[in-house]
Structure 1
Amino acid sequence: MNILFLTLLDFDSLEEQGIYTDLMREFALNNHEVYIVSPVEKKTQQNTYLINEKNVKILKVKIGNVQKTNMMEKGISLLLLNRKFKNSIREYFSGVKFDLIIYATPPITLVNTIKYIVKRDRAKSYLLLKDIFPQNAVDLEMISKKGLSRFIYSYFRWKEKELYKISDYIGCMSLANVKYILKENKTVDSDKVEICPNTISPLNIDISDVDKMKIKQKYKLPLNKTIFIYGGNLGKPQGIDFIIECLRKNEENDNSFILIIGSGTEYNKLHKIFEQEDFNNAKLMHGLPKHEYEMLASSCDVGLVFLDHRFTIPNFPSRILSYMQASMPIIVSSDGNTDVGKIATEGKFGYSCSSQDIEGFNVLLGRLNSKALRTKMGKNSRQYLENNYNSKVSYSIIMKHFMGSESV
């Protein structure tokens, strides 16, 4: 099959690990012809270009700036994204007849490009639903359903509905996502909505205890405390105020150390707190290169997930996959609508608490100071990843619609 994948993720090789690159690599390994359209932002000063890798072609389309820029520039860039992707496909892939087009949210603004390919090639379409927008922006009070911003909401809500309508299949990250989509979108046929979770191709990162100690020393981390790590975006979705209060509460503990690694719109706010307050049990680091991060994360003990308590949509952060790959138990501090905490608890590889419950979070820190418990739950974590969040799983879920079988 000729597979077309549209993404906002900036990558130039399937050798990189991630939920999308690993899935596309799985398609390539199964002898499909894979065509990927991926952006290269204006600030890189590169024009559109094509990369060839055996049966994989990656079209890097020059777009406006989207990452680490102001909301106005990001909004304009996303609105122009559809036209730029569509024109580039016409120019570079005009002779290719696609059988299946796969795309993920964000963004929700590629409707016309998808319609164009579906009509031109009679292709099937599969939506990987990773982000429920614009409701997530409403939850965080970035836009409103009232006042002038209601027009912005209405426009994007219309785009969202249109995206669901043109998709032959909608793959959701978890059962809570499936239920939410069907509840809030009565016109969506339940037969085309299914669970297609975030997945990776798990790596074996074996680090000896001696090397773990050296890595901790390199980054000036304590050797005699349990290291709880949060790695990823530091923005409004993480509920930074709750994280700050958890850091303050953890100062009362003797054996728990919280390491935060990331970047995002709220990083400076967190950095300012670290400058103002002398934390003995916490450290803040700016984002690291992926390999360095994976090595450091694999030297830590417990993974942390933070989601703002205001969310009414069920998020499922892909960040947990790197924790699970490193055989770490996780603590999920979230709203009451996501089911990631429930899955971690039922899978016996993690605990959960409300992202308003500072005391409850602190209790979980203390519980996971037990090395024996961490080891047991860490093994469960890795096993659950391999059984449920392996790229082979999501590949099979998608392909069963075209191969007439659950496995290929």
Structure 2
Amino acid sequence: MSKKKHILVVSQYFYPEPFRINDICSEWVKRGYQVTVLTGIPNYPQGKYYDGYDLTHKRMEEWNGVKIVRIPLTARGNNSIGLACNYLSFVVSGYLWKCLTKIKADYVFTFEVSPMTQALIGVWYAKKYKIPHYLYVQDLWPENVEIVTGIHSPLVLKPIGKMVDYIYAHCDHIFATSPSFVKEIQKRCRDKNKVSYWPQYAEEFYCPVEKKYTPEIPDDEMFKIIFTGNIGQAQGLEILPKAAQKLENLKFVIVGDGRNKENFLAEINRLDVQDKFIMIDRQPQEKIPEFLACCDAAFVSFMDNELFTKTIPAKLQSYMACGMPIIASASGETKRVVEEAECGLCSEIGDVDGLCQIIEKMKEKDLQEMAKKSRGYYLDNFEKKMLMDEMEEYLG
């Protein structure tokens, strides 16, 4: 059998930061590939370096057979200036690394969650060694920049758009996480055929588990709706305190951290609905199925923006892998998946009354049947082995 090839993965975020690229790389190693990851110093989502990591410590690591090279970058902080410096510093460090490195791979695979700028490193490295460059798009730019920063000036967005066009033009193949993303990316590509839909899967520990005592979540008769993950502006979680004002016999369980958590807590206090919320700090991903098992349904939401109608959030696959009924304040792709699976109910983004109505309806539904359909749809459409086999056809 011929020896599998060497993949250089460019990802600004990597273990111990909780991103799906961790599992993708680990799986490639199991399948016989040599994998090197070029990444930064872990600081997501809190915006400060993780304990034990800084500009001088743990710059070279190995995890699950993956070789990790950490290049300098500034921590994100908790404001837009800090985030901009974080994005820029990774690209500058990546350019210098590209010029100096002796590491020679057979492919480059860029895992693009914002910032798209990190894909420039993949382009430069691929051009240097004349090797294929694959790009996996999680966030559309410049649209995402406009949402996160509130900047609408063409003087800013047009150059970013040109950068994105340059990146797409210098990719051998582009993978996108939703059919709508495929269409948007194709608008910027001469060769439409080099863009493919490759949805996200959930790690194997995301599976249905038996409900057991979890001290953070009371075992009572309250209807419990859980949200897990990043608490950011894009998630649109401010709808929950407003809904909580109108609902009874219910608890929202929020597991996670993020740049918008303080604002979210302030809104809960302002509306005096603290008794309707259980707040749990960020947890290891492996523990999330235990928390899900203690709740009746899982929640997905977005802020009101057209971009998010095109998005399938990674947490949706995680919820469905665990067989969770879904309550979604979402339109477009997320609504399509939930309705195709018949595993939950959706209201329009930002519609508080609509959300309250579907929550009350959900209480009357056969949740066990929804859970079964949720898990079944996941296995048919998002199962890990199926998707990794598909990717291997591109990598060889």
TM interval, shorter chain, is 0.7 to 0.9
Find 2:178's aligned residue among 137, 152, 174.
174
1:139 offset after TM fit, Å? Answer: 4.1
Deviates more, 1:37-46 or 1:343-352: 37-46
Matches of 1:21 and 1:88 in 2, distance apart? 21
Unaligned runs of 5+ in 2: 43-47
1:257 offset after TM fit, Å? Answer: 2.3
**What residue is the counterpart of 1:88 in the other structure?**
97
Find 2:60's aligned residue among 50, 56, 62.
50
**What residue is the counterpart of 2:236 in the other structure?**
239
**What residue is the counterpart of 1:28 in the other structure?**
29
Matches of 1:174 and 1:284 in 2, distance apart? 31
Percent identity, aligned pairs only?
A: 18
Find 2:393's aligned residue among 379, 395, 400.
400
Q: TM-score under structure 1 normalisation?
A: 0.85
SS at match of 1:11: coil
Is 1:305 aligned to residue 300 of structure 2? Answer: yes
Deviations 1:272-325 (A, max 9, x none): 233340444333333334344442223222110011122335222111222123
Contact kept, 8 Å, 1:126 with 1:167, in 2: the verdict is yes
Matches of 1:135 and 1:204 in 2, distance apart? 31
1:236 offset after TM fit, Å? Answer: 1.5
SS at match of 2:123: helix
1:375 offset after TM fit, Å? Answer: 1.0
Q: TM-score under structure 2 normalisation?
A: 0.87
Contact kept, 8 Å, 2:238 with 2:267, in 1: the verdict is no
1:237 offset after TM fit, Å? Answer: 0.8
**What residue is the counterpart of 1:201 in the other structure?**
203
1:224 offset after TM fit, Å? Answer: 0.5
**What residue is the counterpart of 1:6 in the other structure?**
10
**What residue is the counterpart of 1:227 in the other structure?**
224
Contact kept, 8 Å, 2:37 with 2:67, in 1: the verdict is yes
TM-aligned CA distance change 1:17 to 1:391, over 3 Å: farther
Give matches, 1:155-166, under 5 Å.
155-166=159-170
**What residue is the counterpart of 1:275 in the other structure?**
269
**What residue is the counterpart of 1:285 in the other structure?**
280
Is 1:63 aligned to residue 59 of structure 2? Answer: no
1:140 offset after TM fit, Å? Answer: 5.8
Contact kept, 8 Å, 1:82 with 1:113, in 2: the verdict is yes
SS at match of 1:31: coil
Matches of 2:12 and 2:258 in 1, distance apart? 17
**What residue is the counterpart of 1:406 in the other structure?**
none
Contact kept, 8 Å, 2:10 with 2:111, in 1: the verdict is yes
TM-aligned CA distance change 1:360 to 1:55, over 3 Å: same
SS at match of 1:243: helix
Matches of 2:290 and 2:389 in 1, distance apart? 30
SS at match of 1:312: helix
Find 2:116's aligned residue among 101, 105, 108.
108
Contact kept, 8 Å, 2:138 with 2:176, in 1: the verdict is yes
Contact kept, 8 Å, 1:203 with 1:325, in 2: the verdict is no
TM-aligned CA distance change 1:220 to 1:200, over 3 Å: closer
SS at match of 1:352: strand
Is 1:332 aligned to residue 328 of structure 2? Answer: yes
Matches of 2:259 and 2:391 in 1, distance apart? 34
Deviations 1:66-95 (A, max 9, x none): 2x432112212211212312433555x514
Is 1:72 aligned to residue 84 of structure 2? Answer: no
